[in-house]
Amino acid sequence: MTTKYDLAIIGSGGGAFAAAIRATTLGRSVVMIERGTFGGTCVNTGCVPSKALLAAAEARHIAADATARFPGIATAAEPVDMPALVGGKQVLVESMRSEKYIDVADSYGWQVRRGNAAFVGTPEAPVLEVTAADGTVETIEADQYLIATGSRPWTPPIKRLEEVGYLTSTTAMELTEVPESLLVLGGGYVALEQAQLFARLGSEVTVLARSRLASKEEPEVSKALQEVFADEAIRVVRHAVPTQAVRDAASGQVVVTADVSGEEQEFRADQVLVALGRRPVTDGLNLDAVAVDTGELGEVVVTDRLQSSNPRIWAAGDVTGHPEFVYVAAHHGTMVAENAFADADRSVNYTRLPRVTFTNPAIGVVGLTEKDVLAAGIRCDCRVLPLHHVPRALVNRDTRGFIKIVVNADTGEILGLTAVAKDAGELAAAGVHILGKTITEVADAWAPYLTMAEGIRIAAKSFTTDPSQLSCCA
């Protein structure tokens, strides 16, 4: 059986849905092929479940910490009912999958196929074979194809780790009891979020990081997070490269051997969580048959218009190796549909792309870091505003963190913003709109008092005024 469409999409996550919605509104026929759980990583195993559990862990932490922070408030945190917590998370996931994915697909009316898709045919005439669970095969022809298969957690070759077993960011979301102790391998955003999540749920957590925490961000971020983790009894071991794992027969614990700054050390925990990055999912697609080039990590190599080496085959989201955010994937998907069917000739531009790590306090970044600016040969001027100068942080009784603004010293133009704060994600979102403006423009702009966003204005004023000499709203 052969069916024909304008657009055939492999995958059903954020990029796939954005492309399907836009292509459908442009009057094109669409088929979406999914071999796993409908909705992709974000709603099923990524953003939604992890942030739901992080919010729960924060609530428990506040209950344990509120007495110390706020005079007159007495609270306590009881042990976690993990099955109930995970069950509630799953109800949320299933609800959002139904409302934001299954129902949306039904309302637009594109076709959905369940099964494994692989390219066959020739580079000039690519087609897809879709094999369903019952073994039936359907051949799909399309004018254009979109690969939106996402990424999966990656595990490096650590001796015997497979034998002893380990958690990933996906399987950790399904635990039915809180581990007494947890070893987290990694220092990136997933590792940081998972480490704090389980520490706040009651685990004794150790983080083994190859360099510094959040090593791609400003060095002030690493220092601030290191202090936060120390306050929350999360042990951080830097310059640690795991080499081997075994299970202690007597205790049942996993023993990980690591090279720590040239010295071999052992670390013990009930569970090990590997958070050392993700890799694009392109296995089984038979991309060679249709002349689609892939990179060293398996990513589909695309142009800035998201077209692969085969002009009829496009890619969107994590599978491209581009920034791994669901909103990037969605942006990609819309762009692919418009480039393929509306001759939009749009290209990707990440200059104003914000990114957030949902620790507490969170990390929010937009634009260039100080290192980026110097590497570009631009004369740089920077200010780091500690949060004790921000009234909102003072009334929250939580001044952990800072706001940093990076400026072109010759023009006064704002090139980047980094924040570690409770609402750092909102600060990064606001930062999207101040990039390219001058420090003077932002310092003179309106800012409502007792908002965290007011801190951006205060940070801008700190280029010309000592913030300790500013009165409220001055």
Among 276, 292, 307, where does a domain finish? Answer: 276
Instruction: With respect to residue 77, please indicate whether it lies within any of the assigned structural domains.
Output: no
Closest to 178 (Cα-Cα) out of 159, 203, 197: 203
Same domain? For 199 and 283 the reply is: no
Same domain? For 181 and 235 the reply is: yes
Same domain? For 422 and 384 the reply is: yes
Give me 215's structure tokens: 């090593």
- H/E run at residue 192: helix 189-201
Cβ neighbors of 419 (< 8 A, separation 6 or more) are 363, 364, 365, 401, 402, 403, 404, 427, 428, 431, 455
Max CA separation in the chain (angstroms)? 76
Same domain? For 232 and 316 the reply is: no
Q: What is the pTM of this model?
A: 0.95
Give me 23's structure tokens: 């292509």
Same domain? For 95 and 127 the reply is: yes
Quote the pLDDT of residue 179: 97
Cα–Cα distance, 174 to 167 (Å, whole number): 10
Give the sign of the dihedral formed by CA 459, CA 389, CA 71, CA 54.
positive
Same domain? For 17 and 103 the reply is: yes
Closest to 106 (Cα-Cα) out of 115, 117, 97: 97
Among 237, 254, 276, where does a domain finish? Answer: 276
Same domain? For 172 and 138 the reply is: no
Q: Which amino acid is at 395?
A: V
Cα–Cα distance, 2 to 243 (Å, whole number): 50
Instruction: With respect to residue 122, please indicate whether it lies within any of the assigned structural domains.
Output: yes
Instruction: With respect to residue 385, please indicate whether it lies within any of the assigned structural domains.
Output: yes
Same domain? For 227 and 270 the reply is: yes
Same domain? For 323 and 414 the reply is: no
Instruction: With respect to residue 348, please indicate whether it lies within any of the assigned structural domains.
Output: no
Instruction: With respect to residue 129, please indicate whether it lies within any of the assigned structural domains.
Output: yes
Residue keyed to tokens 């989201």: 317
Q: What CATH code is carried by the domain that includes residue 384?
A: 3.30.390.30
Cα–Cα distance, 277 to 283 (Å, whole number): 17
Alpha helices in 342-438 (DSSP H): 370-375, 391-396, 424-431
Quote the pLDDT of residue 65: 81
Q: What CATH code is carried by the domain that includes residue 109?
A: 3.50.50.60
Q: What domain range is 101 assigned to?
A: 2-45+84-152+279-341
Instruction: With respect to residue 444, please indicate whether it lies within any of the assigned structural domains.
Output: yes
Q: Tens-of-pLDDT digits for all 474 residues of the chain?
A: 689 999 999 999 999 999 999 999 999 999 999 999 999 999 898 999 999 999 999 999 988 887 778 888 888 888 999 999 999 999 999 999 999 999 999 999 999 999 999 999 999 999 999 999 999 999 999 999 999 999 999 999 999 999 999 999 999 999 999 999 999 999 999 999 999 999 999 999 999 999 999 999 999 999 999 999 999 999 999 999 999 999 999 999 999 999 999 999 999 999 999 999 999 999 999 999 999 999 999 999 999 999 999 999 999 999 999 999 999 999 999 999 999 999 999 999 999 999 999 999 999 999 999 999 999 999 999 999 999 999 999 999 999 999 999 999 999 999 999 999 999 999 999 999 999 999 999 999 999 999 999 999 999 999 999 999 998 887
Same domain? For 171 and 189 the reply is: yes
Closest to 235 (Cα-Cα) out of 279, 286, 181: 181
- For residue 444, the tally of other CB atoms under 10 A from its CB is 11
Cα–Cα distance, 436 to 413 (Å, whole number): 5
Among 256, 276, 296, where does a domain finish? Answer: 276
- Cα Rg of the chain (Å, integer): 24
- H/E run at residue 50: helix 47-69
Total domains in the chain come to 3
Cβ burial 336-369 (10 Å sphere, 16+ → b, else e): bbbbbbeeeeeebeeeebbbbbbbbbbbbbbbbb
Closest to 365 (Cα-Cα) out of 373, 374, 355, 375: 355
Give me 445's structure tokens: 């702009």
Strands of the sheet containing 254-260, edge to edge, are 240-247, 254-260, 263-269
Q: At what angle do helices 454-461 and 424-431 cross, to 10 degrees?
A: 60
Same domain? For 240 and 298 the reply is: no
- H/E run at residue 230: helix 219-231
**241 within 8 A of 263, measured Cβ to Cβ:** no
Closest to 458 (Cα-Cα) out of 371, 396, 394: 394
Instruction: With respect to residue 71, please indicate whether it lies within any of the assigned structural domains.
Output: no
Instruction: With respect to residue 474, please indicate whether it lies within any of the assigned structural domains.
Output: no
Cα–Cα distance, 302 to 62 (Å, whole number): 45
Give me 433's structure tokens: 């709109």
Same domain? For 255 and 315 the reply is: no
Q: At what angle do helices 219-231 and 189-201 cross, to 10 degrees?
A: 10
